[in-house]
Structure 1
Amino acid sequence: MEELSRSLAELKQTFRSGKTKGAAWREAQLRALLKLVEENETQIFEALKRDLGKHPVEAYRDEIGVVKKSAEHSLAHIKKWMAPKKGQIPLLLFPSKGEILPEPLGTVLIFGSWNFPISLTLDPLIGAISAGNTVVLKPSDLAPACSSLLSRIIPLYLDTKAIKIIEGGSNVAEILLEQRWDKIFFTGSPRVGSIIMSAAAKHLTPVTLELGGKCPVILDSLSGSDLKAAVKRIAGGKWGPCAGQACIGIDYVLVQQKFAPVLVELLKNCIKTIIEPTILLDPPLDAQIMSEEIFGPLLPIITLDKIEESIDFISERPKPLTIYAFTKNKRFKDQILQETSSGSVTFNDTLVQFICDGLPFGGVGQSGFGRYHGKFSFDTFSHEKAVLHRSFFLELEPRYPPWNDFKLEFIRLAYSFNYVGLLLLLLGLRRRFARNLNL
Structure 2
Amino acid sequence: MASNTKKKVFGSEEALAMVEELRAAFDCGKTRGCEWRISQLKALIKLSEEHEKEIVQALHSDLSKSETEAFVQEIAMLKNSSKVALKELKHWISPEKVKTSLATFPSSAEIVSEPLGVVLVISAWNYPFLLSLDPVIGAIAAGNAVVLKPSEIAPATSSLMAKLLGDYMDNSCIRVVEGAVDETSALLEQKWDKIFYTGNGRVARVVMAAAAKHLTPVVLELGGKSPVVVDSNINLKVATRRIIAGKWGCNNGQACISPDYVITTKEYAPKLVDALKTELEKFYGKNPLESEDLSRIVNSNHFNRLKKLLDDDKVSGKIVHGGKKDEIKLKISPTLLLDVPRDSLIMSEEIFGPLLPILTVDKLEESFVVINSGPKPLAAYIFTNNKKLKELFVRNISAGGVVVNDTTLHLAVHTLPFGGVGESGVGAYHGKFSFDAFSHKKAVLYRSFIGDASVRYPPYTSTKQRLLKALIGGGILGVLSPTCSNLPPKC
Question: How high is the TM-score relative to the length of structure 1?
Answer: 0.94
| Partner in structure 1 of residue 302 of structure 2 | none
More displaced, 114-123 or 312-321?
312-321
Matches within 5 A, 1:270-349: 270-272=279-281, 273-274=283-284, 275=288, 276-349=333-406
Shift of 1:311: 1.0
User: Comparing both structures, which one devotes a greater share of its residues to helix?
Assistant: 1
Shift of 1:302: 0.3
Amino acid in the other structure paired with 2:209 = S
| Partner in structure 1 of residue 106 of structure 2 | 95
**Of 251, 259, 268, which residue of structure 2 is paired with 1:250?**
259
| Partner in structure 2 of residue 163 of structure 1 | 174
Could you say which structure has the greater relative contact order, defined with CA pairs below 8 angstroms and 6 or more residues apart?
Answer: 2
**Of 55, 68, 89, which residue of structure 1 is paired with 2:66?**
55
**Of 253, 269, 291, which residue of structure 2 is paired with 1:260?**
269
**Of 414, 427, 436, which residue of structure 2 is paired with 1:370?**
427
Gaps of 5+ in 1: 424-439
Cα distance per residue 1:104-161 (max 9 Å; x no partner):
0000000111000000000000000000000010000000000011111111000000
In structure 2, what is the Cα distance between the partners aligned to 1:172 and 1:267? 44
More displaced, 335-344 or 19-28?
335-344
Cα distance per residue 1:268-299 (max 9 Å; x no partner):
01111334211111111111110100001000
| Partner in structure 2 of residue 428 of structure 1 | none
Cα distance per residue 1:154-189 (max 9 Å; x no partner):
110000000000000011111111100000000001
Q: RMSD in angstroms over aligned alpha carbons?
A: 1.3
Task: Verify the 8 A CA contact 1:370 1:380 in the aligned structure 2.
Answer: yes
In structure 2, what is the Cα distance between the partners aligned to 1:42 and 1:415? 65
Gaps of 5+ in 2: 1-11, 289-332, 481-491
Cα distance per residue 1:204-252 (max 9 Å; x no partner):
00000000000000101224xx111011101111111111000000000
- Kindly tell me the number of residue pairs found equivalent between the two proteins: 421
In structure 2, what is the Cα distance between the partners aligned to 1:370 and 1:420? 35
In structure 2, what is the Cα distance between the partners aligned to 1:92 and 1:118? 51
In structure 1, what is the Cα distance between the partners aligned to 2:420 and 2:463? 51
Shift of 1:316: 1.2
| Partner in structure 2 of residue 383 of structure 1 | 440
In structure 2, what is the Cα distance between the partners aligned to 1:417 and 1:155? 58
Task: Verify the 8 A CA contact 2:227 2:259 in the aligned structure 1.
Answer: yes
| Partner in structure 2 of residue 29 of structure 1 | 40
In structure 1, what is the Cα distance between the partners aligned to 2:164 and 2:224? 33
What secondary structure sits across from 1:261 in the alignment? helix
Task: Verify the 8 A CA contact 2:102 2:477 in the aligned structure 1.
Answer: no
Task: Verify the 8 A CA contact 2:135 2:434 in the aligned structure 1.
Answer: yes
Amino acid in the other structure paired with 1:315 = N
What secondary structure sits across from 2:158 in the alignment? helix
**Of 145, 149, 156, which residue of structure 2 is paired with 1:138?**
149
In structure 1, what is the Cα distance between the partners aligned to 2:410 and 2:433? 14
In structure 2, what is the Cα distance between the partners aligned to 1:271 and 1:422? 64
What secondary structure sits across from 1:116 in the alignment? coil
In structure 1, what is the Cα distance between the partners aligned to 2:17 and 2:209? 25
What secondary structure sits across from 2:375 in the alignment? coil
Is 1:15 the counterpart of 2:26 in the alignment?
yes
- Tell me: CA distance 1:420–1:290, structure 2 relative to 1, closer, same or farther (3 Å): closer
In structure 2, what is the Cα distance between the partners aligned to 1:355 and 1:186? 20
Shift of 1:421: 9.7
What secondary structure sits across from 2:224 in the alignment? coil
In structure 2, what is the Cα distance between the partners aligned to 1:421 and 1:47? 61
- Tell me: CA distance 1:214–1:402, structure 2 relative to 1, closer, same or farther (3 Å): same
Task: Verify the 8 A CA contact 2:103 2:477 in the aligned structure 1.
Answer: no
In structure 2, what is the Cα distance between the partners aligned to 1:94 and 1:399? 12
| Partner in structure 2 of residue 112 of structure 1 | 123
More displaced, 277-286 or 357-366?
277-286
In structure 1, what is the Cα distance between the partners aligned to 2:77 and 2:477? 55
Shift of 1:419: 2.1
| Partner in structure 1 of residue 278 of structure 2 | 269
Cα distance per residue 1:324-355 (max 9 Å; x no partner):
01111111111112212111110000111101
- Tell me: CA distance 1:307–1:13, structure 2 relative to 1, closer, same or farther (3 Å): same
**Of 457, 463, 467, which residue of structure 2 is paired with 1:410?**
467
Shift of 1:422: 10
Question: How high is the TM-score relative to the length of structure 2?
Answer: 0.84
In structure 2, what is the Cα distance between the partners aligned to 1:233 and 1:210? 24
Shift of 1:420: 7.8
| Partner in structure 1 of residue 162 of structure 2 | 151
Task: Verify the 8 A CA contact 2:103 2:472 in the aligned structure 1.
Answer: no
In structure 1, what is the Cα distance between the partners aligned to 2:145 and 2:426? 22
In structure 2, what is the Cα distance between the partners aligned to 1:150 and 1:278? 34
In structure 2, what is the Cα distance between the partners aligned to 1:409 and 1:41? 71
- Tell me: CA distance 1:165–1:419, structure 2 relative to 1, closer, same or farther (3 Å): same
Amino acid in the other structure paired with 2:280 = I
Task: Verify the 8 A CA contact 1:108 1:183 in the aligned structure 2.
Answer: yes
Shift of 1:416: 3.3
Task: Verify the 8 A CA contact 2:149 2:176 in the aligned structure 1.
Answer: yes
